Chains A and B, each alone.
Chain A
Amino acid sequence: AQKVTQAQTEISVVEKEDVTLDCVYETRDTTYYLFWYKQPPSGELVFLIRRNSFDEQNEISGRYSWNFQKSTSSFNFTITASQVVDSAVYFCALSEPLFIGTASKLTFGTGTRLQVTL
């Protein structure tokens, strides 16, 4: 069975600090997809990034960067120069095909709550 572990339940940082959110996954599939979502206090989950298992290139988008390492089954997320608006719960998720129609199932980690203060 697939599993996603986000060991950090809650992280508090001061604005402008860098912060890394850890994600470790388990799967027997050779083809899979990894995702990060952000859930601000308003409640909606916002899609941030998708990575497939064949692409280990790290990705940077503004202050956000992602480090995917198949050797350690990790897909970590770093926010550089954090801001108060980054305060949210962040979820890592792993996609597995359901072999029913074209649907895939997302297995979510339990989330990391990031609190950025002034």
Chain B
Amino acid sequence: DVKVTQSSRYLVKRTGEKVFLECVQDMDHENMFWYRQDPGLGLRLIYFSYDVKMKEKGDIPEGYSVSREKKERFSLILESASTNQTSMYLCASSFGQAGQPQHFGDGTRLSIL
């Protein structure tokens, strides 16, 4: 079975802090993704990576950055956390062929106070 592991299920941080969300996958997937999920808005893509050290912006990258130093690990960074970044964050990974399903982690519910 594919396993995508997110470092924290729940996280509480303060406004202005630098926040790191970590994601690790064990299936040698080429692609990795970060989404945020908000009520009524579904899932929205923040950033994705198709190879080590390669990253591309998704639909809502503002206020976020990412890092992929190793194939299995994809980190999401909130440079200076703000209250409007309170959300559920979901990491996913997939193989590189067209139409491959994305496999998701359990999610991190992040609260910025």
Contacts and interface: CB of A to CB of B under 8 A. Distances in A.
B30 interface: yes
Contact of B99 (A33, A44, A45): A33
Interface of A: 31, 33, 35, 37, 42-47, 50, 52, 91, 95, 97-98, 100-106, 108-111
A44 B106 contact: yes
B56 A100 contact: yes
Given A43-B107, A101-B31, A50 B97 contact: no
Contacts of A95: 98-99
Contacts, number: 73
A52 B56 contact: no
A110 B9 CA distance: 22
A81 B26 CA distance: 35
Contacts of B94: 103-104
Contact of A47 (B56, B88, B101, B105): B101
B50 interface: yes
B97 to A, nearest CB: 7
B41 interface: yes
Contact of B45 (A100, A101, A105): A105
B77 to A, nearest CB: 20
Contacts of A109: 42
B84 interface: no
B90 interface: yes
Contact of A106 (B54, B98, B102): B102
Contacts of B106: 42-44
Contacts of A108: 42-43
A103 B48 contact: yes
A54 to B, nearest CB: 11
A50 B101 CA distance: 7
Contact of B30 (A33, A37, A42, A101): A101
Interface string B22-51: 000000001101000000111101001011
